[in-house]
Amino acid sequence: MEQVFELIQQYGLSMVLLIGSLYALYQFTFFSIKEVKVGFEKRHEALHNQMNEVKEKLNIILEFIKSQNKK
């Protein structure tokens, strides 16, 4: 706490508040980017799994159509 008072005395209150607010903005920005990335990865994985299921069903339908055309 004494370090904060020394900084205020040395640089002035406005400069210390400016640096503190920039640091908070920096932390918030990278926290937000990280959370968006994690959310995107989860959503991407779920959509990837759904697409694989669709591909499997389409392959089954394609095989059925091919078997019907051979008859």
Concatenating the DSSP letter of every residue in the chain gives -HHHHHHHHHH-HHHHHHHHHHHHHHHHHHHHHHHHHHHHHHHHHHHHHHHHHHHHHHHHHHHHHHHHHH-
Residue 71 has pLDDT above 70, yes or no: no
The residue ranges of every structural domain in the chain are 2-70
What is residue 44's predicted lDDT score, i.e. its pLDDT? 94
- Alpha-carbon span 17 to 22, nearest angstrom: 9
pLDDT, tens only, 16-63: 889 899 999 999 999 999 999 999 999 999 999 999 999 999 999 999
- Alpha-carbon span 34 to 40, nearest angstrom: 10
| Residue of 32, 34, 3, 36 whose CA lies nearest to 19 | 3
**Which one is predicted more confidently, 33 or 15?**
33
